[in-house]
A = this chain, B = another copy of it.
Amino acid sequence: MTLHPFDQATTLEPQADGTWLGHTSPAYANMVGPFGGITTAQALSAVLRHPERLGDPVALTVNFCAAVADGAFVVQARPVRTNRSTQHWVVEMLQEGQAVFTATAVTAVRRETWSLDEEAMPECPPPHDVAPPAGRAPMEFVKRYEQRPITGGMPTVWDGSGDSSLTRLWVRDYPARLLDFASLSALSDIFFPRVFIRRSTLVPVGTVSMTVYFHADAQQLADTGSGYLLGQARAQAFRNGYFDHTGQLWNEAGVLLVTTHQLVYYKS
């Protein structure tokens, strides 16, 4: 049996000093270096596999410090504080002894409480009524996801005509794979840069920082299975070299799994 490309990419080898050794995956290559979502999942995997881990991820912030070079990397995941039901992590990914990526994470044991989703899933046609895009960006990682853009897909005409940065799409791993916290963290980075759609203009970009709040627990991930997620993202401000976006991922049943935000460098 062949491992799913995602499981191959997030394989980490424990080292004698408590760190983890991993390798970038050609299957998730972006224009330059890897897809940020896979780097995120690789770093989170070091937390998930740590023998002292308490609970499941509730918050994750990742910072892309430098281009990740193709090849080996080391991940240090350090539980800096363990409380009764929460645990705080500081994570660094190193190449040639230099930090290329940092993260903080919070894991927690959840208890059932009063719960409510205030941000409702927008009305959208079901996944199989939405066609995959006619063309596809040439980056290898794009082939690792099945995407069905409902609104705000990648522009096909680059004429500076955009008037909104809102995107909605159905998305899941390709081939389909049971959702887990690592793959959900990668899917949180699936939205192409908002500046492309707002301006219908291609400019150099790079995500600087991303935060993911996991509202779903393990049972809700299991309920989602290998189904589609509805992703939504929209920028709030583009200002002097940096823009943000705010986004959400729901499962087909309308459960809000993740809210996510990122800050992205752009040149123009």
Contacts and interface: CB of A to CB of B under 8 A. Distances in A.
Interface of A: 58-59, 61, 63, 65-66, 80-81, 83, 86, 88, 90, 92, 98-100, 102-104, 106, 108, 110-119, 164-165, 198-199, 208-209, 211, 213, 215-217, 234-242, 244, 246, 248, 256, 259, 261, 263, 265-268
Contacts of A108: 208, 241-242, 265
Contacts of A113: 238, 240-241, 266-268
Contact of A104 (B63, B100, B235): B63
A61 B211 contact: yes
Given A61-B209, A104-B104, A66 B81 contact: yes
Copies of this chain, count? 2
- Interface class of chain A by DSSP: strand
A209 to B, nearest CB: 4
Given A65-B81, A99-B80, A116-B238, A211 B208 contact: no
